[in-house]
Chains A and B, each alone.
Chain A
Amino acid sequence: MTDQVAALVAERPRGLFGDAWHALRRRPLFWVSVSLILLVLLMAAFPGLFSSGDPNAADLSRSRGAPSSAAWFGYDNQGYDIYTRVVHGARASIVVGLLATAGVVLVGATIGMLAGFYGGWLDAVVSRIADVFVGVPFVLGAIVILTTLNAGGDAGPVRIVAQVVLSISVLSWPVAMRIMRSTAIAAKQQDYVKAARALGASSGRIIGKHMLPNCVAPVLVYSTIALGAFIGAEATLSYLGIGLRQPVVSWGVMINSAKDYLRVAPHALLFPAGFLTATVLAFVMLGDAVREALDPKLR
């Protein structure tokens, strides 16, 4: 009854995304996370805007120098300017996050949609394979994949990034697949899908026109949160020494090289770790806000 009243009350109806935008616009948390993310994205795209220094200019005479007006964040063990490297490190972190998210969502969502739509043996096989991948602990799996890929020795920066993206994607696609699969199963049973099938619509048409537009929301929310998580994962792998490494500059690489001098130069760890945490948090907060905005029951 209360729902019925609410339905009658809903005078100015908008689309789902219109509604979500309306709800989002009023949330300070949303604006905070968006500004943070924009700032980091700007850093990644145009590091020159923030720092004119060279991230690879090392000067051992400045080693472990404390923050000063010349170097806001101080210098690390090798004498690199931490501020400049933090700014330049954003790019690798963001690129890894974006590419890994794109890979996970594209692969996972496509497989999930097909499994959910066709069901039967396809669904059974895909779901069991996904279970196997979920069963592998992330760090262990990544170590195995990255050490295997790297058996040959040194690789260029592009290859290192590609390897890290690949390992994250391989280990994380089942999550996106499961989300898409369950929303697809729910959408498939909707009456509008029945009506389309009764009209003789092809499977492609049903998936593209009817299911996909109604299934993207949960995956969208997941991808926002995953983006943050993958940036964190990149740092974890780099910290362990199996992810990105020199000559690539990333927050994870910086944390890795600072870890041994934590007592004498804590600022070398503090700044990249702070940027990392803030960025991950911003994506998680954005995901949370989007999820709440898209789910009318939580509003």
Chain B
Amino acid sequence: MLEVEDLHVEFRTRDGVARVLNGVSYHVSAGETLAVLGESGSGKSVTAQAIMGILDTPPAHVTRGSVRFHGEELLTASPERRRAVRAEGVAMIFQDALSALNPVFTVGFQIEEQLRLRRGMSRAQARARAVELLDLVRIPAARQRVREYPHQFSGGMRQRAMIAMALALDPEVLIADEPTTALDVTVQAQIMDLLAEIQRERRMGLVLITHDLGVVAEVADRIVVMYAGRIVEQADAVSLFRAPGHPYTAALMRSLPRLDSKGTALETIRGLPPSLLRIPPGCPFHPRCPRAQGVCVTHVPPDVRLGLGRTSACHFAEGVVGGGGVGG
């Protein structure tokens, strides 16, 4: 339904050109949850912003690639067409609901505005629909709260209001950029349940951008793992957690403290993520990789197929997934 293919994005800064995305491809279908997993600077949010057409240009420039929605190219579409798709086809919610909502309008007004503009609803119709939507995202006393301002909502409630706003025009795909990162764990659980339920009911495609392996494990159908502007691994959730196919994913999992045991020293990934101004040649992960060989320095690894719908951008993918070596 929504496809990203070979997307390249550069940030042109005064210190040089940062290659933020270097050939990112993924797709999401109706009723599917795709998790985009990565650390800061991996390019996971930039990809989403490129899809939505909300990258700040300059400094960002899309240099290559394609974003298609139902086969229609969006990158070259007219601004009006993009706005239409943004409103009704692909919606997005953000980490920081407070800054995503306009503080000077009531929550109800912000939902109603789109309904009146895009659906030609009357004031009364739009108000009724807004109350329905707030109800849907389980905001208690929706009839009263529709008249309140964003700052009168708690963090969890704001996130719900933003979800209601994103759902107003029945989008087919929802992109959620770290939707629960700013929330407490009990509220995070509520919001994730809500998103999963809405998605199931509406057979919506959900792109969940996060750095949290736990959240990914709980809701994702498929997972793409990003590192330094590339997708290093792509797999269904169960197989990825059972046997990661890329050394980066494997190391990430082992560096996570566990809830179910105290454990001993954590395994760490040595060094730091690369500067996007100077991405290492060959495999971008090679300076930090315990398996790196000569070929990793000289050749960019291809996407190695590891079974149905599973790829890993590692020269030694079969060995990694087989669990050989690396103390796995």
Binding site for B on A (CB under 8 A): 1-2, 4-12
A contact residues around B276 at 8 Å (CB): 5, 8-9
- B56 and A2: CB pair below 8 A? yes
Q: Is B11 located at the chain interface by the 8 A CB criterion?
A: yes
- B275 and A1: CB pair below 8 A? no
Known: A1-B40, A2-B56. A8 touches B46 (CB 8 A): no
Contact with B40, one of A4, A11, A12 (Cβ below 8 angstroms):
A4
Binding site for A on B (CB under 8 A): 11, 13, 15-16, 18, 20, 40-41, 43-46, 49, 56, 60, 177, 273, 275-278
B contact residues around A8 at 8 Å (CB): 18, 40-41, 273, 275-276
Contact with B15, one of A1, A4, A5, A10 (Cβ below 8 angstroms):
A10
- B15 and A11: CB pair below 8 A? yes
A contact residues around B40 at 8 Å (CB): 1, 4, 8
Contact with B45, one of A1, A6, A9 (Cβ below 8 angstroms):
A1
The chain B residue with its CB closest to the CB of A23 is B14
Q: Shortest CB–CB separation between residue B158 and chain A, in angstroms?
A: 19
Please indicate which of the listed interface residues A1, A2, A4, A10 has the most CB atoms of chain B within 10 Å of its own CB.
Answer: A1
B contact residues around A6 at 8 Å (CB): 11, 13
Q: Shortest CB–CB separation between residue A15 and chain B, in angstroms?
A: 16
- B56 and A9: CB pair below 8 A? no
B contact residues around A1 at 8 Å (CB): 40, 44-46, 49, 177
Complex Cα gap A5–B177 (Å): 15
- A12 and B41: CB pair below 8 A? no
- B15 and A12: CB pair below 8 A? yes
Contact with A11, one of B44, B46, B275 (Cβ below 8 angstroms):
B275
Q: Shortest CB–CB separation between residue B100 and chain A, in angstroms?
A: 13
Contact with A5, one of B16, B18, B278 (Cβ below 8 angstroms):
B18
In addition to A2-B60, A5-B11, A9-B18, 10 A-B residue pairs with Cβ atoms within 8 Å of each other are A1-B40, A1-B49, A2-B49, A4-B41, A5-B41, A5-B43, A9-B275, A9-B276, A9-B277, A11-B275
Complex Cα gap A5–B229 (Å): 11
Complex Cα gap A6–B40 (Å): 11
Complex Cα gap A7–B56 (Å): 16
Complex Cα gap A9–B11 (Å): 9
Q: Shortest CB–CB separation between residue A63 and chain B, in angstroms?
A: 58
Complex Cα gap A4–B15 (Å): 16
The chain A residue with its CB closest to the CB of B15 is A11
The chain A residue with its CB closest to the CB of B273 is A8
Q: Shortest CB–CB separation between residue A8 and chain B, in angstroms?
A: 4
The chain A residue with its CB closest to the CB of B277 is A11
Complex Cα gap A6–B18 (Å): 9
The chain B residue with its CB closest to the CB of A9 is B18
- B41 and A11: CB pair below 8 A? no
Complex Cα gap A12–B273 (Å): 16
A contact residues around B41 at 8 Å (CB): 4-5, 7-8
- B46 and A9: CB pair below 8 A? no
A contact residues around B44 at 8 Å (CB): 1
Complex Cα gap A11–B15 (Å): 7
A contact residues around B273 at 8 Å (CB): 8
- 18 CB contacts below 8 A, A to B, read A1-B40, A1-B49, A2-B45, A2-B46, A2-B49, A2-B56, A2-B60, A5-B20, A5-B41, A5-B276, A8-B275, A8-B276, A9-B13, A9-B18, A9-B276, A10-B15, A11-B275, A12-B15
Q: Shortest CB–CB separation between residue B37 and chain A, in angstroms?
A: 14
The chain B residue with its CB closest to the CB of A2 is B56
Complex Cα gap A1–B20 (Å): 11
Q: Shortest CB–CB separation between residue A107 and chain B, in angstroms?
A: 38
B contact residues around A9 at 8 Å (CB): 11, 13, 15, 18, 275-277
Q: Shortest CB–CB separation between residue B276 and chain A, in angstroms?
A: 5
A contact residues around B278 at 8 Å (CB): 11
B contact residues around A4 at 8 Å (CB): 40-41
- A5 and B277: CB pair below 8 A? no
B contact residues around A10 at 8 Å (CB): 15
Complex Cα gap A4–B45 (Å): 10
Q: Shortest CB–CB separation between residue B26 and chain A, in angstroms?
A: 17
Q: Shortest CB–CB separation between residue A160 and chain B, in angstroms?
A: 50
B contact residues around A7 at 8 Å (CB): 41
The chain A residue with its CB closest to the CB of B178 is A1
Q: Shortest CB–CB separation between residue B154 and chain A, in angstroms?
A: 23
A contact residues around B43 at 8 Å (CB): 5
Q: Shortest CB–CB separation between residue A270 and chain B, in angstroms?
A: 43
